[in-house]
Amino acid sequence: MKLWSVLGNSQRLDGGAMFGNAPKAVWQKWIAADENNAIPLACRCLLVEDLAGKTVLFETGIGAFFEPKLRARFGVAEEHHVLLESLAAAGFDHADIDVVVLSHLHFDHAGGLLVAWKQDAAPELLFPNATFVVGAEHWQRANHPHSRDRASFIAELPQLLIDSGRLEIVEGRHSKALGEAVRFEISNGHTPGLMLAEIVATDGGVVFCADLIPGRPWVHLPITMGYDRFPEMLIDEKKVFLADKLQRNVRLFFTHDSECAMAALQRDEKGRYSTREELSQLSAWPLTA
């Protein structure tokens, strides 16, 4: 297998919201805020060639589907669809993708499925040859969101996925599209049914951490986001998740860390987790199944 980190459209969001109840005196040591208290965030995707014989994209970032007013509100930096450019730079087109794995359907992880916004144009799916893989529990959440997170979803997206005829809703640890090459586990602290995908490999593998651990600062167990539905549950899930990945030498792939794409884990004598072997980007990075 070969792995690429591919960037989608970037964001700047309020640092306080991204770090929940952690005070600024703590989190500003990790990420500097601007004059509006906003911090830079990537929307990074993972592209894998020859995974179960297929070309697979894990998530699609926020994309460029927002109208200008909403793009400004949610701090999206670029007007054009950056993910398509990043795929091209890696030598791929969106039509080359066989499978798109979606940890969840919040707009900053699934908005890149859609074409860029145009005045008076209806939303339209990209990736015409891909199977779209979504977890069953989160699929229900996306179709029946709570009022607290309704704005995090793209209202038209579920029906577009259904109409494509290429939607696979996953129950259990494996999908039909990828078989045992990818193992899923479920987290509920950020959003019900968040699906974490681990690429199984002989040398430890790679897990797409999604919003359970958006970047290196959130490896610290007490650190959560204000966007998390159930922060205490998320911390408990993170304890189990990190202990397992450290024991099996599984690398962490970060979607929102603006400076680090992937890292290995370590833990000190007091049980505190941190990262090592940090990579800012992946370009045809090899992984053996």
Residue by residue, DSSP assigns 62-114 as STT-S-HHHHHHTTB--SS-HHHHHHHHTT--GGG-SEEEES--BHHHHGGGB
pLDDT tens column, 78-137: 999 999 999 999 999 999 999 999 999 999 999 999 999 999 999 999 999 999 999 999
Q: Is the dihedral of CA 62, 68, 72, 74 positive or negative?
A: negative
Which three-class secondary structure state does DSSP give residue 93?
coil
Alpha carbon distance 162, 255 (integer Å): 26
Regarding pTM above 0.75, the answer is yes
pLDDT tens column, 204-243: 999 999 999 999 999 999 999 999 999 999 999 999 999 9
Domain ranges of the chain: 2-286
Assigned CATH class of 2-286:
alpha beta
What pLDDT, on a 0 to 100 scale, did the predictor assign at position 175? 98
Structure tokens at 253: 């792939």
